[in-house]
Amino acid sequence: MTAQTIDGKAHADGLGARISGAIPSFREQTGRPPGLAVVLVGTDPASEVYVSSKGRMARKLGMASFEHILPEATTQQQLLDLIAQLNADDSVDGILVQLPLPAHLDSLPVIEAIDPAKDVDGLHPSSAGRLVSGLPGLVSCTPLGCLMLLRSQLGNLSGLDAVVVGRSILVGKPMAQLLLAENCTVSMAHSRTRDLPGKIRQADIVVAAAGQAEMIKGDWIKPGATVIDVGTSRIVRDGRKTLVGDVEFASACGVAGAITPVPGGVGPMTIMCLMHNTLLAACRRKALAEPR
């Protein structure tokens, strides 16, 4: 068996087309585009790339992008003051603080200071609580993108056995909640899990978000399972730097029914779900019909 490759870029392009198609009507009704504010503190090169690509994508789709690049020496209070200013700014519908923050800053109070109605990264405790409670809210972009890929691949997920590897607040925990809400039977695995291969072999759906390069081998996977590989690790192979996932792609392809590649799987969906969340937050703030 050769697994079908799930093309995250094509799915993201489709979602992007629906988002940009909805923006003219938002502008007509409100007199302005949806607005995304991204805050970066310091000069971490990877974070700079992420922030500029988010801004570029927002503008490409017809949104307003407000990029706040603050010096490394920014104090906790200065950052909190900026969040308060963005919360009060009606032209800003979504606020994202690029993590990790420099070591002298405490990220939790900063995230808690974001108005939950503008929490497009879905990291506010109120967003997490609403997800657990089954209330409408904003869901973290990466698990939301994974769910969209799974729904489009499998249709109804009800009754399927799912394993989520990783229990971070950003990916693993919200992913498990989303799958539970789809009526999957969900196991969460982490670094203390016993017999991880045995757990994964039971699963119709595997979402791998451990950040461990090629840890999950083909013979751990149930034949025909759908595998969503969130992990991204840079390794050197044959003398060249290569980006790989948590799943050993070549061996998994011989067993799985469908699998996301790295790169080109979950990554493009993550950024597009940020755009989706920004439009969703904008529509909710203005009491307009939500995008589908």
Give catalytic residue positions: 54, 98, 121
Question: Which amino acids are annotated as binding site for NADP(+), given as ranges?
Answer: 166-168, 232
How many other β-carbons are positioned within 10 Å of the β-carbon of residue 128? 19
Reported as type and span, the H/E element at residue 243 is: strand 240-244
Q: How far is the CB of 45 from ligand NDP (least distance, A)?
A: 15
The only residue of 89, 212, 251, 288 in contact with ligand NDP, by rule CB under 6 A: 212
Question: Six-digit token pair at 56?
Answer: 């570029």
Cβ(151)–Cβ(183) under 8 Å?
no
196 binds ligand NDP (CB under 6 A): yes
Stretch in the footprint of ligand NDP (CB under 6 A) among 114-122, 176-184, 187-195, 234-242: 187-195
Residue 123 CA to chain centroid, in angstroms? Answer: 11
Residue carrying the six token digits 């994974």? 146
57 binds ligand NDP (CB under 6 A): no
Distance separating alpha carbons of residues 275 and 191, to the nearest angstrom:
32
The only residue of 54, 167, 199, 222 in contact with ligand NDP, by rule CB under 6 A: 167
The only residue of 34, 166, 174, 261 in contact with ligand NDP, by rule CB under 6 A: 166
In this structure, the strands spanning 4-5 and 258-259 are parallel
Stretch in the footprint of ligand NDP (CB under 6 A) among 84-92, 228-236, 250-258, 281-289: 228-236
192 binds ligand NDP (CB under 6 A): yes
Applying CB under 6 A, the site for ligand NDP has a residue count of: 26
Question: Six-digit token pair at 146?
Answer: 């994974």
Distance separating alpha carbons of residues 140 and 173, to the nearest angstrom:
10
164 binds ligand NDP (CB under 6 A): no
244 binds ligand NDP (CB under 6 A): no
Distance separating alpha carbons of residues 187 and 202, to the nearest angstrom:
10
DSSP letter (8 states) at residue 276: H
Residue carrying the six token digits 């706040």? 68
Q: How far is the CB of 130 from ligand NDP (least distance, A)?
A: 20
Residues in touch with ligand NDP (CB under 6 A) = 142, 165-168, 170-172, 189-193, 196, 209-212, 215, 230-233, 266-267, 270
